[in-house]
Structure 1
Amino acid sequence: MAKKRGYHHGNLREALVEAALGLIEQKGPTGFTLSEAAKRAGVTPAAVYRHFEGREDLIAEAARQGYEIFGDLMEYAYSTGQPSALASFEATGRAYLAFARRYPGHYVAMFESGISVNRTPELAAAAKRANGILEKAAEELSQHIPADKRPPASMFSAHILAMSHGVVELFARTAPGSIAPFPPEDLLESGIGIYLRGLGLIEKDS
């Protein structure tokens, strides 16, 4: 019989987050208990409370880590598109899809768990940093629009995030009925193109 690793094995906090991420992918953010996370991490349920007060705190930490990864990916995408503001903006949209596919547990913890980004200062800071990159790209792209007609960068970026999230939920996840006749990347790119043309940020097709 395998011996439990116990509280002092490695980094318990990180082991619990990894366990939670696996359970989130399998059962969703509300489909598992702390006891299940503890069992998967190889410790007793009581040991969990040395690090987290409850399941929501554990999910919040998974979300914080997700936003840190997300922010890094967005920052990289933004920088690789320079010096073109349009290329940077489009790259950040594609990075959203890439993140959702590569880090599904983090993605769900961040966007589908119901956990507020203001639950902890650390989570709020990580979310603000990640979202701020797309806002910066939106602001740079819309500089030539007259100030009185220019949408706020936060609204501009929120529209693109909503569009990206919709593509992920409807067409980039392996849910029944989610098959689309076009690749998710093409759907997102064409949607962003329509949006940007509507704002006069890119030329209309002839």
Structure 2
Amino acid sequence: MPKRGYHHGNLKQALVDAALTLIETKGPTGFTLSEAAKNAGVTPAAVYRHFEGREDLIAECARQGHAIFSDLMEHAFNDGQPTALAAFEATGRAYLAFARRYPGHYMAMFESGTSANATPDLAAAANRSRAVLERAAAALSAQLPEGKRPPPTMFSAHIWAMSHGVVELFARGRPGANTPFPPEDLLEAGIGIYLRGLGLIAPDS
């Protein structure tokens, strides 16, 4: 009789799905390989057919998360349409939406301590997701005189840090329930202040 959890023939994905559920409920360091195997309906020894250990399993969760994240960011960016500013703001909203919809992936990506260079596939996926925001930053900062443009990597890193802070403090878990403002409004206001400081949008009248 096939084991519960991988009757569809994809043991590797069944283990990833089990790990994502455990990450959501216990955190990325709060579960064991044995628990992931049990939730997938297999023996602990079966895990080693696909993963060297828990860190390798978490790295695959992160890789899949970056792939989903990249797709969402690409869709939000929409090749810079209808305007560079609108596309840039849409990527910020996509960041919050991803963290809410895929908390297990988000934690594997950013809260597990797993290096983005843990595996070549993870590094490629992480680079792709980062590149979307860098393209959005480059398209927007192109409106500035060349000597006054921040490097796209720095520009995008600032916005990434701001987005991550809003997610961590206000968009997930109990702290998020205590904010007096919707996370989207906090991020939009923060991005607005940043862009006004660069001279990319006009100051409020």
Is the Cα–Cα contact under 8 Å of residues 6 and 14 in structure 2 kept in the other structure?
no
Partners of 2:25 and 2:6 in 1: CA distance:
25
**TM-score, length-scaled by structure 2:** 0.95
Alpha-carbon deviations, 1:150-180, whole Å to 9, x = none?
1110110010010000000111012247511
Equivalent residue number for residue 148 of structure 1: 147
Equivalent residue number for residue 35 of structure 1: 34
Equivalent residue number for residue 50 of structure 1: 49
Is the Cα–Cα contact under 8 Å of residues 6 and 44 in structure 1 kept in the other structure?
no
In structure 1, list runs of 5 or more residues that go unmatched: none
Partners of 1:178 and 1:158 in 2: CA distance:
26
Once the two structures are TM-superposed, the CA of residue 9 in structure 1 deviates from its matched residue by 5.5
Aligned residue runs from structure 1 range 169-180, under 5 A: 169-176=168-175, 178-180=177-179
Once the two structures are TM-superposed, the CA of residue 146 in structure 1 deviates from its matched residue by 2.3
How many equivalent pairs are there? 205
Partners of 2:33 and 2:41 in 1: CA distance:
12
Equivalent residue number for residue 119 of structure 2: 120
Partners of 2:94 and 2:80 in 1: CA distance:
12
- Secondary structure, aligned partner of 1:53: coil
Partners of 1:7 and 1:66 in 2: CA distance:
21
Once the two structures are TM-superposed, the CA of residue 56 in structure 1 deviates from its matched residue by 0.3
Is the Cα–Cα contact under 8 Å of residues 77 and 91 in structure 2 kept in the other structure?
yes
Aligned residue runs from structure 1 range 34-183, under 5 A: 34-79=33-78, 82-176=81-175, 178-183=177-182
- Quick one: which amino acid aligns to residue 45 of structure 2? A
Partners of 2:7 and 2:46 in 1: CA distance:
10
Alpha-carbon deviations, 1:93-140, whole Å to 9, x = none?
000000000000000000000101111111011111111011001001
Is the Cα–Cα contact under 8 Å of residues 7 and 47 in structure 1 kept in the other structure?
no
- Identical pairs, percent: 77
Partners of 2:104 and 2:42 in 1: CA distance:
21
- Quick one: which amino acid aligns to residue 134 of structure 1? L
Partners of 1:100 and 1:146 in 2: CA distance:
34
- Quick one: which amino acid aligns to residue 26 of structure 1? T
Partners of 1:6 and 1:162 in 2: CA distance:
37
In structure 2, list runs of 5 or more residues that go unmatched: none
Q: Which structure shows the higher helix fraction?
A: 2
Partners of 2:64 and 2:155 in 1: CA distance:
25
Once the two structures are TM-superposed, the CA of residue 145 in structure 1 deviates from its matched residue by 1.7
